[in-house]
Amino acid sequence: MKPSEMRNLKGEDFQKEIESRKKELMELRFQAAMGTLAQPHRVAQLRREVAQLNTIRREQTVSELKNGASK
């Protein structure tokens, strides 16, 4: 998912996306521990996506707080 697509998500969807990526990441870590990991690059990709989702969610929260405070 691209950051531009992430910015279009609503609050509840952010949490769902983060949870699904963390779950997939956990599964990939188990596969890596067992030596059956087919796509090792996917681990870094998922970690990056989780970080991006958290960052965008935080940006939106700060923006909402600033807009609420300035009114």
pLDDT at 6 over 90: no
pLDDT at 35 (0 to 100): 93
Q: Write out the chain in H/E/C secondary structure.
A: CCHHHHCCCCHHHHHHHHHHHHHHHHHHHHHHHHCCCCCCHHHHHHHHHHHHHHHHHHHHHHHHHHHHHHC
pTM: 0.84
The total of other beta-carbon atoms located within 10 Å of residue 18's CB is: 16
Q: Is it the case that residue 24 has pLDDT exceeding 90?
A: yes
